[in-house]
Structure 1
Amino acid sequence: MAPAVVVIDSGENQEFEGKITVYVIVCVILAAFGGLMFGYDVGISERKHVLKNNYCKYKNQSLQLFTSCLYLAALIASFIASKVCSKAGRKHTMQTASNFSLLGVVLTSAGVNLEMIIFGRIFLGFGIGFAIQAVPLFLSEIAPARIRGALNITICETPTSLIERNKMEKGVKVLRKIRGVENVDNEFDSIVHACEMARQVKDPFRKLMKPVSRPPLVIAICLQVFQQFTGINAIMFYAPVLFLTVGFGNDAALLSSVIIGLVNVFSTMVSVYLVDRTGRRLLLLEAWEAILVVIMVCIFVMGFAWSWGPLGWLIPSETFPLETRSAGFAFAVSSNMFFTFVIAQAFLSMLCHMQAGIFFFFAAWIIIMGVFTWFLVPETKGVPVDSMLDKVWKQHWFWRTYMADDDCTTVVKVV
């Protein structure tokens, strides 16, 4: 099956010639390292919390601020990155993210006081905000539809971004390179046509407020909010604290959090294929209780890692049309960063006051998420990015009511 890039004019979907090339795989792998900024920060942050014993007894707002300030910075950066992504392209946005992150790492590593460390984490937040804005869009635009869910040196700019910025020769050259064929004229013409249609939209943020944009916008924001209310970042940020609370020693708590991190990494790979002193007897029983806690947390992390983790980013990146893609994804990223900030800032206080009730709180949200997904999130597997309107939104029992013909007849969506 050839990678599909479709122009929706007459309702007919046209597939273009092409194949999966080594260059595309290399570009996708390198771009995906943008997520390493996020994961590395989560892992480093959680280690800091073991330095305080009796954490629930002696709450420390400074450490909560240490964790959460990064995500507030990323929220602000996501809107700036949306403009940069449209004007300068996905590649330059990812390069800017790398520069911000490098500066943040230097300041954080060399920090001699809390203020300097927090200042460094703000730069890290800007790096994460820029990376999360650009990387999923890059992957959704460069990867063929049939392996888009799995692909979540040097990299190229996407043909769509180049043509959108009137770099026609570079656009067709990159298109030939990533498709692995010489005859890309039809696909090139369709992208040019789509870009011309997108230029008619002067204010993409205003376009997002129209009913036709409501389905992907609501889905994108809700997926990001619900992703945080699974409790995953509470687990990942404060895993050592949780294990200390149930009786682990400091070393065991750190080791258990490392195990969870490894489970998260390897379980995320699963998503590629499925689109992670009181007596001998009593002591043994208590040990099994502690082990059971680790096992259940690992099962929880596994479930998140092959579902809400990668798909929370994949679905918003593939459901917006070209003219509102950067703006819509900016809302998705900012929603994620805001609620990550909220969870990181509030979780320890909630844990101290609610104790075991905090897990019932997150469990209730998971039930709500399941209902939302069952009724309102459509299946997008194997659907080209530009075919979402006719094949997904117009066919959905609820969202099709927002697809008025006068709003949709000229909408063109392109990978």
Structure 2
Amino acid sequence: MSSHKKNAFTFATIVAMGGFVFGLDAALISGTVKFISEEFSLNSIQLGIVVGAPSIGVLLALFFAGSACNALGRRKTLQIIAAFYLVSAVSSALAPSYITLVAARFLGGLAFSSISVASMYIGEIAPPKWRGKLVSMTQINIVLGLSAAYFINYLIIQYTNSDAAWVDSIGLKENTWRWMLGSEILPAFLWLILLFFIPRSPSWLVYNGKPEEAERTLSKLIPKNEIPHQLADMKKSLDSGEANRSIQSQLKEVFSKKMRVTFIIAITIAIAQQSTGINAILFYAPTVFEQLGGGTDAAFMQSIYIGLTSVVFTILGLLLVDKLGRRPLIIWGMVWIILSLGICFYGFKSASYTISSSSISELTTIPNAERLNSIANKSYGSDIEFKEALTETLGEVDARNYSSVLIEKAADINAILILIGILSFIAAFHFSVGPVMWVLFSEIFPISIRGIAIPFFTLITSLVSSLVQIFFPKQLETIGISNTLLFYAITVAIGLVILYKYLIETKGMTIEEIQLKLQKK
């Protein structure tokens, strides 16, 4: 490996570690849902708020991320983001109340802009032939973080159920969810330290009138004879917005006629990526798997399957993004997502729920389980009907706290089919729109506006993500999991139609060549 390639991969790997911390932060909360709900007596909306608080925080952060990237630089902005992750992790683990936990997770949300800023930085230091792979490294790290989070949660649950003396000595049983959230502290601290060893973005240096320093940075990334051409391309891309660099003027250009096709592509994929419901599955993984009737331990174990599937197919997508191209991965990946959600919809829709008298007699962990005798041997055609009956019989609190064991006893469901559908959906997402959206964001905007454009469209995808996370528990209560998944499939299908018409292929092209192709279209 040449020194240029080694440097590019080293800098990209360090920056992409933000994806690992993001993945940890995103998925660790999935294991705490039951414990937090019981400790703070949360209803479905309150639970949605504490899970979705980071996605609300990132909405605020993205208003400032663009101007921070332009004013302070990509590197400095990433260092501030890493500090937010660290403070949030410590505060979440020590939170004494529901409000302070929401506030701590909201603070972590200010750091969720790490994904867009990391994609921006890596896209600017990566040579065109490696850009797809290097930008996708962020997504690789996200899924590694997700996998690590599910595994950590599973280990903590297993240790909590053990009789080891050290478990009691560190208060693991009483503070299960705090140990889960606290496991993020060390990776966040390590990332913050490593960010002091990366150079400033050459595009940002050119943007701020420092071509000599930009040339020194480029000398670490590409052969010396290619530097003049690269600098010339950067200056040319910058010229279109050089007269007025205000945020208002850059946003105006985002909405301009010459950027129309770029705008349609960016906003469609920004909405469609999160409308898949990916964060409902990732952030509530054990809750989703509990709907299969396998119980809590099985749900945590099955969550690990999500992490492993994510890693395998993200790596596969990374290997193919510069060979097959962006358009085929996006289009066929979305078709795959729709089919996978359809399988899940069918599996949940055909399920039925009946709790027998003998099963009720076995429920020794539920106080006054005989209350369930009024619904014994009655068949319910959907999860929502069964949960409504439980609420009427046991009351809202007990129905929520014991729903996992009750569904395990009552469900007549094709769990294998649904598990295959969920894992197929995870594979499709991480093979296509998951990583490729960030590759496209790093390519389709000119240098003159990318500091504002990328955070702006990340704001759109984050807004959709926050709505998905906050309302998912309520959707489970009101329309059931099958209709929720059907809703996701329909929204993805709408996005597929739009992208099929407008999305162009960008592999192997410089950012400047991509701009010309988009404007011609």
TM-score band, normalised by shorter chain: 0.7 to 0.9
Letter in 2 for 1:106: V
Equivalent residue, structure 1, for 2:170: none
Equivalent residue, structure 2, for 1:141: 124
Q: Say if 1:195 and 1:357 are closer, same or farther in 2 by CA, change over 3 A.
A: closer
Equivalent residue, structure 2, for 1:245: 291
Alignment partner of 2:490 out of 364, 367, 379: 364
Q: TM-score, normalised by structure 1?
A: 0.83
Q: Percent identity?
A: 26
Residue pair 1:380, 1:392 contacting (<8 A) in 2 also: no
Higher helix share: 2
* Alpha-carbon distance in structure 2 between the residues aligned to 1:53 and 1:115: 13
Alignment partner of 1:62 out of 14, 39, 46: 46
* Alpha-carbon distance in structure 1 between the residues aligned to 2:260 and 2:241: 17
Letter in 1 for 2:123: S
Equivalent residue, structure 1, for 2:75: 91
Q: Say if 1:300 and 1:117 are closer, same or farther in 2 by CA, change over 3 A.
A: same
Shift of 1:159: 1.0
Equivalent residue, structure 2, for 1:214: 260
Alignment partner of 2:229 out of 176, 183, 186: 186
> Secondary structure of the equivalent of 1:383?
coil
* Alpha-carbon distance in structure 2 between the residues aligned to 1:156 and 1:303: 35
Alignment partner of 1:324 out of 437, 442, 449: 449
Equivalent residue, structure 2, for 1:333: 458
Residue pair 2:259, 2:519 contacting (<8 A) in 1 also: no
Equivalent residue, structure 2, for 1:228: 274
* Alpha-carbon distance in structure 2 between the residues aligned to 1:62 and 1:288: 29
* Alpha-carbon distance in structure 2 between the residues aligned to 1:313 and 1:235: 20
Residue pair 2:237, 2:512 contacting (<8 A) in 1 also: no
Aligned 1:208-357 pairs, distance under 5 A: 208-275=254-321, 289-355=414-480, 356-357=482-483
Alignment partner of 1:74 out of 48, 55, 58: 58
Equivalent residue, structure 2, for 1:201: 244
Shift of 1:71: 0.7
Shift of 1:379: 1.3
Residue pair 2:264, 2:502 contacting (<8 A) in 1 also: no
* Alpha-carbon distance in structure 1 between the residues aligned to 2:472 and 2:27: 17
> Secondary structure of the equivalent of 1:343?
helix
* Alpha-carbon distance in structure 2 between the residues aligned to 1:211 and 1:189: 25
* Alpha-carbon distance in structure 2 between the residues aligned to 1:221 and 1:393: 17
Per-residue CA deviation, residues 288-324 of structure 1 (Å, 9 max, x unaligned), is 9323322221111000001010112221221011111
Q: TM-score, normalised by structure 2?
A: 0.67
Alignment partner of 2:22 out of 38, 60, 68: 38
* Alpha-carbon distance in structure 1 between the residues aligned to 2:462 and 2:229: 39
> Secondary structure of the equivalent of 2:285?
helix
Equivalent residue, structure 2, for 1:375: 501
Alignment partner of 1:106 out of 82, 90, 99: 90
Aligned 1:365-404 pairs, distance under 5 A: 365-394=491-520, 400=521
Alignment partner of 1:28 out of 12, 17, 24: 12
Shift of 1:33: 1.3
* Alpha-carbon distance in structure 2 between the residues aligned to 1:234 and 1:78: 21
Larger C-alpha radius of gyration, 1 or 2?
2
Residue pair 1:318, 1:385 contacting (<8 A) in 2 also: yes
Q: Say if 1:81 and 1:289 are closer, same or farther in 2 by CA, change over 3 A.
A: same
Shift of 1:372: 1.9
1:165 aligns with 2:208: yes
> Secondary structure of the equivalent of 1:179?
coil
Q: How many residues align?
A: 369
Which ranges of structure 1 fall in alignment gaps of 5 or more residues?
A: 1-17, 395-399, 401-415
1:150 aligns with 2:152: no
Per-residue CA deviation, residues 106-140 of structure 1 (Å, 9 max, x unaligned), is 111121211221111111111112x1231111111
Aligned 1:123-134 pairs, distance under 5 A: 123-129=107-113, 131-134=114-117
Letter in 1 for 2:217: V
* Alpha-carbon distance in structure 2 between the residues aligned to 1:110 and 1:308: 36
Q: Say if 1:175 and 1:359 are closer, same or farther in 2 by CA, change over 3 A.
A: same
Shift of 1:380: 1.2
Which ranges of structure 2 fall in alignment gaps of 5 or more residues?
A: 136-193, 322-332, 334-354, 357-407
Shift of 1:209: 2.3
* Alpha-carbon distance in structure 1 between the residues aligned to 2:244 and 2:104: 37
Q: Say if 1:31 and 1:209 are closer, same or farther in 2 by CA, change over 3 A.
A: same
Shift of 1:38: 2.4
